[in-house]
Chains A and B, each alone.
Chain A
Amino acid sequence: MREQNNFVAGIKDGLPICLGYLSVAFAFGITAVNSGLTIWQAVLISMLNVTSAGQLAGVPIIVGDGTLFELGLAQLIINLRYALMSVSLSQKFGKSVRLVDKFLVSFVNTDEVFAVSSSKGMDVGRNYMYGITLTPFLGWTLGTLLGAVAGNILPAIIISALGIAIYAMFVAIVTPTARKERPVLLCSLFAIALSCVFNYVPFLKEHISSGFIIIICTLVASVVFALVAPLPEEKAQEVEIDG
Chain B
Amino acid sequence: MVETGQFFLYLLVMAGVTYLVRMVPMVLVKKKITNTFVRSFLYYVPYAVLSVMTIPAIFSSTSYLASAICGFAVALVLSYFNRSLLVVAASACGTVLVVELIIKYLIL
Is the A/B pair a real complex? yes
User: Which chain A residues lie closer than 8 Å to B32 at the CB level?
Assistant: 87-88, 91
Total number of A-B contacts with CB less than 8 angstroms?
A: 306
A172 vs B43: C-alpha distance when bound (angstroms): 17
A96 close to chain B: CB less than 8 A: no
Of A1-9, A116-124, A175-183, the one contacting chain B is: A175-183
Nearest-Cβ distance from residue A52 to partner chain B, whole angstroms = 9
User: Which chain A residues lie closer than 8 Å to B91 at the CB level?
Assistant: 168
Given contacts A167-B54, A167-B57, A192-B52, contact A86 B26 (CB under 8 A): yes
B5 close to chain A: CB less than 8 A: no
Smallest CB gap from B83: residue in A: A172
Say whether chain B's binding surface is mostly helix, strand, loop, or mixed.
Answer: helix
Q: Are B86 and A225 in contact (CB under 8 A)?
A: no
Nearest-Cβ distance from residue B29 to partner chain A, whole angstroms = 5
Say whether chain A's binding surface is mostly helix, strand, loop, or mixed.
Answer: helix
Contact mask A48-74 → B, CB, 8 Å, 1/0?
111101111110011100001001100
Pick from B47, B54, B67: contact of A178, CB below 8 A.
B47
Q: Are B10 and A87 in contact (CB under 8 A)?
A: no
Given contacts A191-B51, A218-B52, A239-B42, contact A161 B100 (CB under 8 A): yes
- With an 8 Å Cβ cutoff, the count of chain B residues facing the other chain is 75
Nearest-Cβ distance from residue A154 to partner chain B, whole angstroms = 11
Most chain A C-beta atoms within 10 Å of own C-beta, residue among B7, B67, B84: B7
Given contacts A56-B53, A175-B76, contact A45 B14 (CB under 8 A): yes
Nearest-Cβ distance from residue B72 to partner chain A, whole angstroms = 7
Q: Are B68 and A164 in contact (CB under 8 A)?
A: yes
Contact mask B63-99 → A, CB, 8 Å, 1/0?
1000110011001101110111110111111101100
A204 close to chain B: CB less than 8 A: no
Q: Are A173 and B50 in contact (CB under 8 A)?
A: yes
User: Which chain A residues lie closer than 8 Å to B90 at the CB level?
Assistant: 165
**6 extra A-B contacts, CB within 8 A, seeds A68-B13, A82-B21, A90-B29:** A57-B53, A164-B72, A168-B72, A169-B85, A171-B76, A183-B44
Residues of A bordering B, CB below 8 Å: 20, 23-24, 27, 31, 36-38, 41, 44-45, 48-51, 53-58, 61-63, 68, 71-72, 75-91, 99, 102-103, 105-107, 109, 111, 156-158, 160-179, 183-184, 187-189, 191-192, 194-196, 199-200, 213-214, 217-218, 221-223, 225-227, 229-231, 233, 235-236, 239, 241-242
